Amino acid sequence: MRVYLLIVAIAATAVVGCQSGGNVSLFGYSTAPPFDPNIKTVYVPVFKNTAFQTTPNRDIEVDLTAAIIREIHSRSTMRVVSDRESADTELLGTIYNIEKGIFNRTQQNHARYAEIIVSANIVWRDMRTGRVLSNRRPPGAAAVPAVPFDPSLPTPDPELVKEIAVPVKVVSTGRLIPELGETNATANKSAVDTMAKQIVNMMEIAW
C-alpha cells in the first residue's frame, strides 16, 4: 500500500509543475494570468465612431472605451496609461456600424424582440517593436513589412520596419425586450459590455 501511495505521489509531482510567481500548471492548465507578463501598460484613446448615429447611440464610443478600460483593470495585469509615449502598447478602435434588428413584433406593430448590433475594427500594437499584436498569424511567424521587399536595396533596419495592421472585426449584440422593461439604453450597454469582454479576450496569450 505504501509503495502504491509513493508511486501516486511521484506521478502527481511529475504532472503538476510549479511556474515562476508561485503559479501551478496541471494537465496543460495554469493558474497564471492569461496575459503576457512582458506587457505592463496599454494606451487606450477614445474609440472613433464613423457609424450613423441616432439619439440612443450618441457617445457610444465613449461608453465602449470606458468599458474596455474597466475590463482591462479588472481582469488583466496590465494598467491603462494616459501617456502614449510611455505605453508598452496601444489599443485603437473604430465603431463603423450600429444596427437595430427587429425580430418579433406585437399586433400593434411595436417591437417585441429586437437587438442592437455594434460592429468595430480593432488594432492592438506594441509601441516598443512596431509589431501588431492583433494581427492573425501562425505562432512564431515573422512580422509583415509595410514596404515590399526589394533585393536591390540594402536590408532595412529591423527597428524601422513597421508591420501592416489588419484590423480585427468585432461584433456584439444587446437584447431588447420592451415587455421585460428593456430599452435601447439597456441594449446599448449590454452590447458595449459584451464587446469590451471580447476585445480583452483578444488580448490574452494565444493557446
**Using one digit for the tens of pLDDT, what is the confidence trace for 38-73?**
999 999 999 999 997 766 778 899 999 999 999 999
Same domain for 1 and 97, yes or no, is no
Rounded to an integer, the average pLDDT of 60-89 is 96
Helix ranges (DSSP H) in 23-158: 60-75
Residues 5 and 107 in one domain: no
> Same domain, yes or no, for 25 and 40?
no
Are residues 18 and 91 located together in one domain of the fold? no
Give the closest residue to 73 by CA, choosing from 63, 84, 65, 62.
65
Task: Indicate if 100 and 153 belong to the same structural domain.
Answer: yes
Query: Residue 14's pLDDT band (boundaries 50, 70, 90)?
Result: very low
- Structural domains in the chain (count): 2
Whether pLDDT at 142 is above 70: no
How many helical (H) and strand (E) elements, i.e. helices and strands, does the chain have? 3, 9
Residues 195, 119, 205, 42, CA torsion sign: negative
pLDDT of residue 122: 97
Flag whether 198 is in a domain: yes
Find the farthest-apart pair of alpha carbons in the chain and give their distance in angstroms, rounded. Answer: 77
List the grid coordinates of 128: 516598443
Taking only the tens place, the pLDDT of each residue in 146-193 is 555 566 766 656 555 577 889 999 999 999 998 889 899 999 999 999
Q: Which domain holds residue 132?
A: 35-202
Same domain flag for 27 and 71: no
Q: Tell me the β-bridge partners of 48.
A: 94
pLDDT band, residue 33 (cuts 50/70/90):
low
Residues 6+ apart with CB under 8 A from 91: 42, 43, 44, 68, 122, 123, 124, 199, 203
- Same domain for 7 and 42, yes or no, is no
CB 40 within 8 A of CB 78: yes
Are both 12 and 83 inside the same structural domain?
A: no
